């Protein structure tokens, strides 16, 4: 999180951005705002700093406030730094009915943090979220673009080890070519 | 075995690829529509089919299509609502993940009927891996001449794009979705004008759920009249049901509308009965927004008739003793489930998801969550129960969009059918503080349906 990057999309990403903007009628480039914020978040350390949002505003020729109001509305945009792996455990009714409380508790114990906190090594942030549309395979969680379903404490242990060993920052988008 | 129209080929290996999907008869509806039918004739078939919107409201799809302003000089748009976020609902994800081409095919045929030259599929952001699957399917459709300029050599051209959301239940409301697609906060619009007149970019727009658009494929292939023969009365065709909660076999099932609810729960073909040998206590049959029903009212109406999986039968008895088919998000609770805690999770959900535009919803959902939190955590007062009913009443019908109603109905119905359980929480906080499950007490077992 401490690393500083120049806020500038790579040439390749910029090509994607230009391609995205063409999906909408002329003058409606603001429609590309949500996908662009996803890309920006993936590219700039997993969160949207004011500087990153201002950069996106320039690309789309809109006012910075138009970006802030959108970024602060949608839950998938992080307005503060998060750990490398953002663990999002679903806690709504159907997941609760299959034991999501136990899963959250197990994570808290294993990681030594409470919901909303980040481990001191900056590896994991634990979050509870509302329905992720995976009720038939509850309890479940999302980490980056991946769904982990039918969770048990054992599966959680394995996942934590796997993510720790991987060391990569999880992102909703594995690559920008998704869109 | 009931008839399968959408999931018929779901188990064919490679069905997610164009090649295999095509071999199974895929894209026939595009060929039939573009080469042998007029756009109006396609719309007519959808009208005849009796297809009702599969997102939750159940509005007749053909009628919605007929409202589209066809005289306008502006371009027309078809937008697919794949923002599936209603707790208990995961059928669209399943369909898009397993058989993405049926949605692409439905989008092409439907866009042709509506005269749209550009169409969008708005997918909730959390389904990013599904977006990847759809993008691949769309690229294959372009490569094989089913999208782009002059499809199949006709003069019809269509571009189809996927748009990601970013985590907001409210964007499942069609005007909020359109706002979001325009790059704004998902605040629902005041209606009128309706999207059919001024929707995306103030142009005539139809917004349809994933399953609705997929259903256009079998309707065009078999003809609207044939489709209408499936099901009962005004509940025609098949419906995807997302089954979750305390059952042996959670998952997505395609049923012919009209299947008895009891068969759906207990048959091995579907839910396979209640898990752990327990008994049925309650069910939310159509996604978290619809009224919860105790087991006995789920299986039989207040009049004693067998309850069926149809729009009409599930709503029989109104909100006094009935519920709704809604999105088909079928959440089942066994005898140990704590109704108060479940309701608290729903209230928290709606509070979290309220867009904040209308005060009754913004403030009311917050109060309901707080009051339920304190009842559930052993700090409730006897007056809290009526307070909840009062707050719910003041939200219902007083907001721009249906999220307010959706937040109010679960609260009102849970208290209507399970008031004793709320009272028990207030009277015996020591027995319910932080329970994951609820001790079975006499009043709870009375609520358990005798069957099963």
Query: pLDDT tens digit string along B184-232?
Result: 999 999 999 999 999 999 999 999 999 999 999 999 999 999 999 999 9
Same domain (yes/no): A142, A98: yes
CA distance B188 to B170: 8
Average pLDDT over residues B390-417: 96
Q: Does residue A155 lie within any of the structural domains?
A: yes
Q: Which residues of chain A have pLDDT under 70?
A: 1-5, 174-179
The pLDDT value recorded for residue B447 is 42
B339-436: CATH class: mainly alpha
Domain closes at, from A19, A39, A71: A71
Q: How far apart are the first and last CA of chain B?
A: 21
Please report, for the domain that includes residue A123, its CATH number.
Answer: 3.40.30.10
A143 labeled binding residue: no
Query: Which residues are paired to B205 by β-bridges?
Result: B77
The pLDDT-based confidence of B54 (bands split at 50, 70, 90) is very high
Q: Is A34 within 8 Å of B346 when comparing Cβ atoms? A: no
Q: Do A53 and A98 share a structural domain?
A: no
Query: What does the pLDDT read at residue B435?
Result: 52
Is the residue at A142 inside a domain? yes
Tell me the C-alpha distance between B266 and B295, whole Å: 13
* CATH domain B18-229 topology: Rossmann fold (3.40.50)
Task: Assess whether A97 and A160 both reside in one domain.
Answer: yes
CA atoms within 13 A on the CB side of A8: 4
Whether A179 is covered by a domain: the verdict is no
Looking at residue B433, what is its pLDDT? Answer: 57
Q: Give contacts of B 356-415 with A, CB under 8 A.
A: none
Residue A160 falls inside a structural domain = yes
Closest by CA to B174, choosing from B234, B211, B224, B122, is: B122
Last residue of a domain, one of A19, A36, A71: A71
CATH code, domain carrying A67: 1.10.10
> What letter does residue B307 receive in the DSSP assignment?
P
Residue B375 has pLDDT above 80, yes or no: yes
Shared domain for A34 and A98, answered yes or no, is no
A49 lies in the same domain as A113? no
Tokens of B194: 């309706």
List helix spans (H) across B354-447: 359-376, 383-395, 403-427, 429-432, 442-447
The third-level CATH classification (topology) of the domain covering B232-334 is Ubiquitin-like (UB roll) (3.10.20)
Residue B178, helix vs strand vs coil: helix
Domain range list for chain B: 18-229, 232-334, 339-436
A151 in the same domain as A96: yes
Give me the number of domains chain A comprises. Answer: 2
Same-domain check for residues A38 and A93: no
Whether residue A5 is contained in a domain is answered as: no
User: Can you point out the beta strands (E) in chain A?
Assistant: 85-90, 124-129, 141-143, 146-148
User: Rounded to 5 degrees, what are φ and ψ at A130?
Assistant: -95, 160
Looking at residues B232-245, what average pLDDT do you find?
97
Q: Does residue A58 lie in a domain region?
A: yes
Domain that holds residue A115: 85-166
Residue B330 has pLDDT above 80, yes or no: yes
Residue A177 in domain: no
The answer on whether A85 is annotated among ligand-binding residues is no
Cβ separation B165–A74 shorter than 8 A: yes
**Residue A135 assigned ligand-binding role:** yes
Q: Are A117 and A66 members of one domain?
A: no
Residue B201 distance to chain A (closest CA, Å):
8
Is B345 in contact with A96 (Cβ distance < 8 A)?
Answer: yes
Which residues from chain B sit within 8 angstroms of residue A101, using beta carbons?
Answer: 436
Which of B87, B183, B251 minimises the CB distance to A30? B183
Residue A129 lies in a domain: yes
Q: What is the pLDDT of residue B230?
A: 97
């Amino acid at each position: 999180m401490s690393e500083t990057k120049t806020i500038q999309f790579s040439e390749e990403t910029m090509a994607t951005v230009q391609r995205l903007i063409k999906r909408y009628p002329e003058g409606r480039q603001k429609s590309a705002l949500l996908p662009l914020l996803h890309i920006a978040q993936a590219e700039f350390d997993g969160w949207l700093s004011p500087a990153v949002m201002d950069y996106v505003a320039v690309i789309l020729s809109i006012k910075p406030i138009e970006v802030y109001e959108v970024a602060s509305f949608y839950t998938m945009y992080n307005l503060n730094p998060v750990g490398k792996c953002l663990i999002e455990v679903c806690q709504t009714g159907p997941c609760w009915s299959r034991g999501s409380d136990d899963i959250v508790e197990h994570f808290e114990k294993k990681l030594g943090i409470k919901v909303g906190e980040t481990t001191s090594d900056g590896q994991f942030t634990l979050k509870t979220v509302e329905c992720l549309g995976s009720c038939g395979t509850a309890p479940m969680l999302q980490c980056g673009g991946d769904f982990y379903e039918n969770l048990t404490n054992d599966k959680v242990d394995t996942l934590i080890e796997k993510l720790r060993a991987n060391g990569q920052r999880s992102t909703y988008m594995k690559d920008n070519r998704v869109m | 075995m009931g008839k399968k129209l959408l999931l018929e080929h779901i188990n064919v290996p490679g069905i997610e690829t164009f090649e295999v999907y095509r071999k199974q008869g895929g894209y026939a509806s595009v060929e039939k529509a573009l080469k042998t039918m007029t756009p109006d004739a396609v719309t007519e078939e959808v009208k005849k089919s009796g297809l009702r919107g599969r997102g939750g409201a159940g509005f007749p799809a053909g009628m919605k299509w007929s409202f589209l302003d066809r005289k306008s000089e502006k371009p027309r748009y078809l937008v697919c609502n794949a923002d599936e976020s209603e707790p208990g609902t995961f059928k669209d994800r399943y369909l898009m993940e397993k058989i993405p081409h049926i949605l692409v095919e439905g989008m092409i045929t439907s866009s042709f009927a509506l005269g749209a030259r550009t169409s969008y599929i708005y997918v909730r952001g959390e389904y990013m891996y599904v977006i990847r699957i759809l993008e691949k399917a769309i690229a294959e459709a372009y490569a094989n001449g089913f999208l782009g300029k002059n499809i199949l050599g006709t003069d019809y051209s269509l571009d189809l794009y996927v748009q990601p959301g970013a985590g907001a239940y409210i964007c499942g409301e069609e005007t909020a979705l359109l706002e979001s697609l325009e790059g704004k906060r998902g605040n629902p619009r005041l209606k009128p004008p309706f999207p059919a007149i001024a929707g995306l970019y103030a142009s005539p727009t139809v917004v349809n759920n994933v399953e609705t658009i997929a259903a256009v494929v079998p309707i065009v292939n078999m003809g609207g009249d044939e489709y209408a023969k499936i099901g009962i009365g005004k509940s025609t065709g098949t419906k995807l049901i997302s089954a979750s909660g305390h059952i042996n076999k959670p998952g997505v099932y395609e049923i012919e509308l009209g299947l008895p609810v009891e068969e759906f729960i207990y048959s091995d073909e579907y839910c396979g009965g209640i898990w752990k040998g327990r008994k049925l206590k309650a069910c939310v049959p159509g996604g978290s927004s619809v009224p919860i029903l105790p087991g006995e009212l789920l299986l039989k109406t207040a009049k004693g008739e067998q309850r069926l999986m149809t729009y009409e039968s599930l709503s029989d008895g109104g909100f006094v003793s009935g519920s709704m088919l809604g999105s088909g998000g079928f959440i089942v609770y066994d005898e140990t489930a704590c109704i108060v805690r479940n309701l608290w999770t729903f209230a928290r959900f709606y509070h979290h998801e309220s867009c904040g535009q209308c005060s009754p919803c913004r403030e009311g959902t917050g109060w309901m969550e707080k009051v339920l939190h304190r009842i559930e955590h052993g700090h409730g007062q006897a007056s809290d129960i009526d307070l909840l009913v009062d707050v719910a009443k003041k939200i219902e019908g007083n907001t721009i969009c249906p999220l307010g109603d959706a937040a109010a109905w679960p609260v009102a119905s849970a208290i209507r059918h399970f008031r004793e359980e709320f009272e028990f929480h207030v009277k015996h906080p020591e027995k319910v503080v932080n329970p994951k499950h609820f001790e079975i007490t006499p009043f709870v077992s009375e609520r358990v349906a005798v069957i099963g």
